[in-house]
Amino acid sequence: MIHFVRHGETAPNREGLLLGRSDPPLTDRGREQADELAQLLADLEPVAVLTSPLGRARATAAPIAAAAGRAVEVDDRLVEIDYGEWDGRPLAELTADLVSRWRADADFAPPGGESLRMVGDRVAGFCEERLGREAVVAVSHVSPIKAAVAWALGVGDERAWRMRLEVASITRIAPGPVLVAFNQRLP
């Protein structure tokens, strides 16, 4: 089973900004969330703790790996979508027409950025390789985790827009693939 963990809170997450490849640190609350996730996931005895290369994911993965007695392994396929020129902007600044086009077309990419289909393809490869009977923790971001859910459900990548995924949440995919849990929040 893959236990996908969305990284802890950052200031841009709290402010509702598009946060792609820019890499702000976790807030104090984000670091607390990482510690809480570590306590929650330690009993799983994962065979691996994988993470996006971005610092906010690595900072979330480190206490999880320490609690599980594992090293953190970086997997570039877990990196957040590249918002290109839109990184750091509020979604509300984009025109309604532009957002509608983006949500309807999985091949649409922000200027200088990446499409949902591109994210879906790289995450599908990760899931196909890592999904097995043993527990794996994968610390990532909103778009790759929603892409994993779309893959597990066998739906188009654009369906990711219909999902809300909170920071420091857990989403679980079992062999099959089967979506076992989505957006589990810390107690």
Of 7, 9, 114, 158, which residue is the catalytic one?
A: 7
Residue (of 56, 79, 74) closest to 143 by Cα position: 79
Residue ranges of domains in the chain, CATH in brackets? 2-184 (3.40.50.1240)
Q: Which member of 3, 9, 80, 141 is catalytic?
A: 80
pLDDT confidence of residue 186: 83
pLDDT at 42 (0 to 100): 87
Amino acid found at 75: D
| In the predicted structure, residue 122 carries a pLDDT above the cut 80 | yes
- The encoded tokens of residue 49 equal 């703790």
Q: Token pair of 20, please? A: 């792609």
pLDDT bracket for residue 120 (50, 70, 90): very high
User: In this predicted model, what pLDDT tens digit does every residue of 61-119 receive, in sequence order?
Assistant: 999 999 999 999 999 999 999 999 999 999 889 999 999 999 999 999 999 999 999 99
Average pLDDT of the chain to the nearest whole number:
96
Provide long-range contacts, Cβ within 8 A and 24+ apart, for 68-71: 68/38, 68/41, 68/42, 68/44, 68/137, 70/46
Q: Active-site residue 80, yes or no?
A: yes
Residue 117 parent element (H or E) = helix 116-130
Q: For 14-31, what is each residue's pLDDT tens digit?
A: 998 999 999 999 999 999
Is residue 141 among the annotated active site residues?
A: no
pLDDT over threshold 80, residue 187: no
